[in-house]
Structure 1
């Protein structure tokens, strides 16, 4: 009987030790996420390789966790569930506003001058349009944005639409929707569920390359002016956790990423330095649209 009691106490003590050990292990793990701009399975494949790369470069455990929405990525960052995130322009601005001291440290070489593609179902009869203003033929169509927090799938496209039409999207279009991500926008417009929509140009290229676009059903009708977009943002308190100089080491690891397989997963040709000031245009536009305090 005494033997059973001693064994039970030993098991309980071990369980308590493990319970307290878990946070200590977690404290040594750099956790990051990314806005869910396309299919979750594809995101997991993309970013697990990035996690492995960063772990080797930084000599710390690195883990990627997916999130279900753009807003969830910002919440995870604010709550310190993740210390690093691959954000869009607007979600990065939101996150840095909520966590003082956070920094944009790197962006894709293409992100300094990003753009959106307006797309339309071929049945609309709209032909591709050039110039700095949205095509008038969009008026009175059904139209879908991506996520409500997407820079390339909502924020900048809405800004350009308001600039051209002088009205809110609800007044321009017959019906307005929010698909949730770029992949879904392409699918909805291609199927005719919405007559037109707007997507990140990189997401469009990725969908075309993956064979998910039927050019007989959907086409690009307008390319927006450029703006700053995606970036890596890190919390300002990571050095308390991983040591002095960690932020710069992290930035250097991202800038040094040159494996074509890793870069193709974004897809980007490489990474360049970024800082918070690069996104002041996004701050200004978000405030104009009452999407940011």
Structure 2
């Protein structure tokens, strides 16, 4: 009887492991309001499950670094990363690949916004930000930290810590808008898509805060898949996943990103981001 029970437990354990392995999981950097992210990506999970024929689960995380860690530890096999977080994740898991990006992500921008009390006039030229209070987004954000810091150093000729009276990190782009609009910080930098969506939805008071500078373009968000998914989910799975992402055409789902469509991506697209991150000391 003891042997029978042991065999049954081993069999149950094998079944449980098999079931767990059959679940394809993904995450996304928490760059906006958590409820908005959950609504968006749970719909993505439903779409992918239908297209791929496997159970798909969205796993929310609390920080950019947590998204990278989940990817490194194989807690997720796919992630919607920003440019920097994608570079970090692929460096930690060799063989992983950027497979799709939003059409707009090929030509992404950061917007610098200012509270009207700062009295900074919008211009095509980089503004004089010496002595103002400034908030980035998340410390791991490409459009809310990496590229803004690069543009600050390149245009003002000194480190951000030597430019501003006080520096903050809001945590996400939506909070950057809120903090600058309230006057908690005079100036901030964020993802241009989040700003444009906020203006379109009327969730920002443009009588209190405005865009003062728009950055040059750079590559940003992308879907990155972990190495080994074909072994875990069957030959050709990565290709079917890639095609499913590229074929995503539901207007409501695309609008929630917001993106017009998804287009092919590869690791080489993000070499400029890696070079900038090395130049300002965010990665070795």
TM-score tier after normalising by the smaller chain length: over 0.9
Does residue 196 of the first structure (1) align with residue 187 of the second (2)? yes
- Compute the displacement of 1:43 (Å): 0.4
Correspondence for 1:135 among 127, 132, 151: 127
Q: What is aligned with 1:123?
A: 117
Q: What is aligned with 2:202?
A: 211
Count the aligned residue pairs.
Answer: 283
> Whole-Å Cα distance in 1 between the matches of residues 208 and 103 of structure 2?
31
Does residue 149 of the first structure (1) align with residue 143 of the second (2)? no
> Whole-Å Cα distance in 2 between the matches of residues 221 and 139 of structure 1?
15
> Whole-Å Cα distance in 1 between the matches of residues 228 and 105 of structure 2?
26
> Whole-Å Cα distance in 2 between the matches of residues 270 and 288 of structure 1?
32
Correspondence for 1:59 among 49, 53, 62: 53
Q: What is aligned with 1:267?
A: 258
- Compute the displacement of 1:13 (Å): 9.1
- Compute the displacement of 1:243 (Å): 1.1
> Whole-Å Cα distance in 1 between the matches of residues 199 and 20 of structure 2?
39
Q: What is aligned with 2:172?
A: 181
Correspondence for 2:212 among 212, 217, 221: 221
- Compute the displacement of 1:180 (Å): 0.6
> Whole-Å Cα distance in 2 between the matches of residues 34 and 161 of structure 1?
27
Q: Secondary structure at the match of 1:219?
A: strand
What TM-score does the superposition give when structure 2 sets the normalisation length? 0.95
Q: Secondary structure at the match of 1:269?
A: coil
- Compute the displacement of 1:18 (Å): 5.2
Q: Rg bigger for which structure?
A: 1
Does residue 68 of the first structure (1) align with residue 62 of the second (2)? yes
Gaps of 5+ in 2: none
1:133-168 deviation digits (Å, cap 9, x = unpaired): x211x2110000001110000001100100011111
Does residue 96 of the first structure (1) align with residue 87 of the second (2)? no
Correspondence for 2:41 among 40, 47, 50: 47
- Shift of the 14–43 alpha-carbon distance from structure 1 to 2, 3 Å rule, reads farther
Q: What is aligned with 2:236?
A: 245
Q: What is aligned with 1:3?
A: none
Q: What is aligned with 1:107?
A: 101
- Map 1:72-91 to 2 at 5 A: 72-91=66-85
- Shift of the 17–190 alpha-carbon distance from structure 1 to 2, 3 Å rule, reads farther
What TM-score does the superposition give when structure 1 sets the normalisation length? 0.93
- The RMSD of aligned alpha carbons is 1.8
Structure 1 range deviating more: 19-28 or 35-44 = 19-28
> Whole-Å Cα distance in 2 between the matches of residues 40 and 258 of structure 1?
24
Gaps of 5+ in 1: 1-5
